[in-house]
Structures are given as C-alpha cells and as structure tokens.
Amino acid sequence: AQKVTQAQTEISVVEKEDVTLDCVYETRDTTYYLFWYKQPPSGELVFLIRRNSFDEQNEISGRYSWNFQKSTSSFNFTITASQVVDSAVYFCALKGTASKLTFGTGTRLQVTL
Amino acid sequence: NAGVTQTPKFQVLKTGQSMTLQCAQDMNHEYMSWYRQDPGMGLRLIHYSVGAGITDQGEVPNGYNVSRSTTEDFPLRLLSAAPSQTSVYFCASSYRSSGAYSYEQYFGPGTRLTVT
C-alpha cells in the first residue's frame, strides 16, 4: 500500500517570508511519480509539478522550488518570498505502478500582509 | 478546449434519493477518475477508468456506481444517498500511463453535494 503524509495541517506566514511544505511518502514500487497540486480558495485543483523516482534533481520554477530526496522519502515544496496569492491548500500525491493516485491530507497555507 | 467539466456545481439530496454527477472531458484522455474531498482527509479515489468500457474500484467505492460508454464521459451514480456522502466530488482525467511514464491529472471544478 502507498501512503502520503503531510504533517503540517496549517501554516501561517507574513508576506515575503519563505515557507517549506513537507511531504513524506511510502511505497514499495521502485518506479513511482510524485506530484504537487494547489487548491486556492476558489476550490479548483491546479497541477504544479510531477517528478519521477529516477530523477532526484531539484527543480525551480520562479518562486517555487522542490526538493526530492529518495533517502528520506521526502518531496518538499518551498515558496520563496511568499505572496498573498499563494494562500491555498497544497496537496502532495503519489502514483506507483498501479493507476491510482494517493493524496496527502493537504497543508493549508495562509499568507498575510 | 473546455478541459474537464462537471455538472451540477451544487446539489442537495434527501437521504435515499439517487442522482448522477456528470463529468466530461474534451482532451481525448483515456484515464478518468472520481474523487471525494472531505475535511482533513485529502482526496480519496472512488472509481476510475482506463478507457471506454473499463472501470475499476478505488479506495472508497461503496454506494457509488460508474460506467464509461464513451471516452469523453464518466458519470458517477449515487444509488441511495446517505448523509455520509456529503462531500465535494472531483472528476479528473489524464492520458493513460505509458510504460513507466505517468501523466498528470487534470481536475474538474468540483460538485458540492449535501445529503440531508
């Protein structure tokens, strides 16, 4: 069975602070994919990134960066210089060799002025 | 492209009533799935389909039926609604995984269902 743990239920930061959202996963598959999705207050789910198990390179996209470490089964997400528009619930998800996508319980990020 | 569309956006049912949540996509995606989102529990997979005529159960299938007669549509049927089915329902689609490659899923806007 596969599992995704997002231990941080809610995080509150002041605008311009950096913030890291943690994601720890469990799977027996050797080939798997990890994803991050954003759910803003409007409710839709927005795809942010996909990373496969063979690619441990960190990725940066603007203010967003992701750190994938197989040794600790973690796929953490950092927002640099956070903005109010970053306020949302962020979900980490895992897909192994089966067709099913397993989500974590999400981390609610609140960015205030 | 409209992407993934869901209807209705909101629905209130009485216990015991049945209804169908509609989901359609215009991206020619083979894979479609239904999730429910409950507070503190993330998204849980209800049913999924890897192509027309093929469906399978997810993590929480009880009380729901699906069918996939076309590539575009994947309706979710509630047979006899119960208060425990009060939730937000999301439909998603993606290209079917190819070998070791997996595609990201695109989500519809969701249907908020309340069962009284």
The answer for residues whose C-beta is within 8 angstroms of residue B62's C-beta and 6 or more apart is: none
Q: Chain B: residue nearest A29 by CA?
A: B100
Please tell me the distance from the alpha carbon of residue B68 to that of residue B50, in angstroms, as a whole number: 9
Residue type, B38: D
Judged by CB atoms closer than 8 Å, whether chains meet at B33 and A101 is answered as yes
pLDDT at A93 over 90: yes
* CA geometry: angle A92, A97, A98, nearest 5 deg: 85
Q: What are phi and psi of B8, to 5 degrees?
A: -80, 175
Judged by CB atoms closer than 8 Å, whether chains meet at A44 and B40 is answered as no
Look at the block and give the residue holding tokens 């998800």. A93
Q: What is the pLDDT along chain B (116 residues), one digit of tens a residue?
A: 789 999 999 999 999 999 999 999 999 999 999 999 998 888 999 999 999 999 999 999 999 999 999 999 999 999 999 999 999 999 999 987 776 677 888 999 999 999 99
Judged by CB atoms closer than 8 Å, whether chains meet at B41 and A33 is answered as no
Residue A16 φ/ψ region, left for φ over 0, alpha for ψ in the -120 to 50 degree band, beta for the rest: left
- Kindly state the average pLDDT of the residues A52-69: 90
Using DSSP's 3-state secondary structure scheme, residue B96 falls into: coil
User: Is the CB of residue A96 less than 8 Å from the CB of residue A32?
Assistant: yes
Q: Chain B: residue nearest A54 by CA?
A: B100
Question: Is B74's Cβ below 8 Å from some Cβ in A?
Answer: no
Computed from CA positions of residues A1, A47, A79, B111, in that sequence, does the dihedral angle turn out positive or negative?
negative
Judged by CB atoms closer than 8 Å, whether chains meet at B45 and A101 is answered as yes
- Kindly state the average pLDDT of the residues A59-80: 94
B9 by Cβ neighbours in 10 Å (0-12 / 13-18 / 19+) ranks as exposed
Chain B CB contacts of A105 below 8 Å: 40-42
Please tell me the distance from the alpha carbon of residue B50 to that of residue B37, in angstroms, as a whole number: 22
Residue type, B24: A
Please tell me the distance from the alpha carbon of residue A45 to that of residue B48, in angstroms, as a whole number: 18
Question: Is B42's Cβ below 8 Å from some Cβ in A?
Answer: yes
Q: Tokens at residue B43, please?
A: 């998204």
**Pairs of residues, one from chain A and one from chain B, whose beta carbons lie less than 8 Å apart:** 52
Question: Is B27's Cβ below 8 Å from some Cβ in A?
Answer: no
